[in-house]
Amino acid sequence: MTSAPTAAARRVAKAGVQLVNTARATGARGYRSPGFAADGYCIEPGFVDARAAAAILADVERFTDRAVTASGVDGVVLRDRAKRQQRDLNVRQLTHAEALSPTLGELLRSGRIERAFAGLTGRALRIGGITVQIDWPDTETKRGLHVDSHWPPTFKAFVYLTPVRSPANGPFCVVPGSHRHRVRKLRAIAGDYLTGRDHTDLDHEYSMDEAVPLLGEAGTSIFADQRLAHAGCPEHTTGTRVMAVAYLYDEGTRPPAFLGH
Ligand SMILES: O=C(O)CCC(=O)C(=O)O
C-alpha cells in the first residue's frame, strides 16, 4: 500500500516544479506579439481615454489624503503598506476598486483588458482583481527590483490615472526582456535562499541602472509579464501617483495565493 505524500513532500515537489519552470522561463518566448515576447511589456497610450481616466481619478482622489484611513465602502479594504512591512512605506492600496468607481467597474466588465492581453500573449487570462494604488513621493523605502512570481507566470495591467512624465513622478520600471532570463533568476533565487530573503527579490542580481522607466499621460496602460524584474522608481520626488492595477492569471488555473496582495 502506498501512503499519501506528506505536506513537506508536496512542498518540495512544488518548489521543484517552480524551479524547473523558472530555469526554462517556460512560455516567455512564445507570445503572439514579437515585441511582447522580446520585452515582456507593452505601453498603450490612451487605452483609457482622458475623460474616463479623469472620472476614475475623481472617484478615488479622496484617498490621497493620508488622514483618510478607511475606505468606508463595503468590501473595499484600504491598506497602507507602512502598517505591515518596512519597505514601500508610502504606498496605499484599495482592493476591489471597481466598487469605488463606476467607470473602473465598466472597464473591468468590458473584457478589454483580457482582450488586450490575448492579443499580446495568445493566452486566455482571467482578471483576479483590481486595485487602486496611491504612491506618495519616496526616495528611501521603495522595494527594489523583484518579480511577482517566478512560476506560475502572472500578468498586470497598470492604468496611470495621473500623468507620469519623468522618474520624478515615480514610474513603473522594468528590465526589458528579463521575463526570459534563466541563469540570472536562478542565481537570484539561490542568493535569496542563502541570505534568508524573499525568493522573489532580485535586487542583488539586477541593478536599477538596467531598468527603464515607463512613462505616460493619464489613461496610458502598461501590460506586463510580472516575471520581469520590476520596481516602482526610487527617484519619486514630485506629485502623488495614482493608478489602477488589474491582476491576471491563466484561465483554468487556480489564482496564485498572493494575487491582490
Ligand atoms: O509601484 C510600482 O510601480 C511597482 C509596482 C509593483 O512592483 C508591482 O505591482 O508588483
Positive or negative: CA dihedral 207, 209, 210, 213: positive
Pick the closest to residue 26 from 179, 147, 202, 128 (CA basis).
Answer: 179
The residues near 39 (Cβ < 8 Å, ≥ 6 apart) are: 176, 177
Ligand 1 center–CA 230 separation, angstroms = 7
- CA–centroid distance, 1 to ligand 1, in Å, is 49
- Whether 246 and 130 have beta carbons less than 8 Å apart is answered as yes
Candidate from 230, 240, 241, 245 with most ligand 1 atoms within 8 A of CB, to mutate: 230
pLDDT score for 232: 97
For ligand 1, say whether the CB of 235 is within 6 Å of any of its atoms: no
Q: How far is the CA of 135 from the centre of ligand 1 (A)?
A: 10
Q: Distance, CA 251 to ligand 1 centroid (Å)?
A: 23
Distance (Å, rounded) from C-alpha 188 to C-alpha 154?
19
Q: Is the CB of 232 under 6 A from ligand 1?
A: yes
116 closest CA partner among 49, 33, 175: 33
How many helices (H) and strands (E) are present in the chain, helices listed first? 6, 10
pTM of the shown model: 0.93
- Cα 13 to ligand 1 centroid, rounded to whole Å: 29
Asked if residue 138 has its Cβ within 6 Å of ligand 1, the reply is: no
Report which of 134, 127, 136 is spatially closest to residue 109, judged by C-alpha positions. 127
Nearest CA to ligand 1 atom 6: 231
CB atoms closer than 10 angstroms to residue 31: 21
Count Cα neighbours of 224 within 13 Å in the Cβ-side half-sphere: 28
- Estimate to the nearest angstrom the gap between the alpha carbon of 8 and the chain centroid: 30
Q: Is 256's C-beta closer than 6 angstroms to any atom of ligand 1?
A: no
Can you say whether the dihedral through the CA atoms of 66, 72, 73, 74 is positive or negative? positive
In the reported structure, the alpha carbon of residue 8 is separated from the centroid of ligand 1 by a whole-number distance in angstroms of 32
Residue closest via CA to ligand 1's atom 1 equals 232
Q: What is the pLDDT along the chain (261 residues), one digit of tens a residue?
A: 556 778 888 878 877 888 888 888 888 889 999 999 999 999 999 999 999 999 999 999 999 999 999 999 999 999 998 776 788 999 999 999 999 999 999 999 999 999 999 999 999 999 999 999 999 999 999 999 999 999 899 999 999 999 999 999 999 999 999 999 999 999 999 999 999 999 999 999 999 999 999 999 999 999 999 999 999 999 999 999 999 999 999 998 887 776 544
What is the C-alpha to C-alpha distance for residues 181 and 177, in angstroms, rounded to an integer?
A: 7
- Residue 259 pLDDT: 56
Which residue minimizes the CA distance to atom 4 of ligand 1? 232
Q: Ligand 1 within 6 A of 150 CB?
A: no
pLDDT at 26: 84
Q: How many CA atoms lie within 13 A of 244 on its CB side?
A: 34
Candidates 43, 92, 133, 164: which one to mutate for ligand 1, based on the most atoms within 8 Å of Cβ? 133
Ligand 1 atom nearest the C-alpha of 173 is: 3
The enclosing H or E element of 247 equals strand 241-250
With a 6 Å cutoff on the Cβ, whether 142 touches ligand 1 is no
Residues 217, 45 contacting (CB under 8 angstroms): yes
What lies within 8 Å, CB to CB, of 36 at 6+ separation is: 42, 120, 121, 223, 225
User: Cβ(230) to ligand 1 under 6 A?
Assistant: yes
CA-nearest of 138, 118, 156, 147 to 243 is: 156
CATH 2.60.120.620 correct for 7-250: yes
Residue with cell 525568493: 199
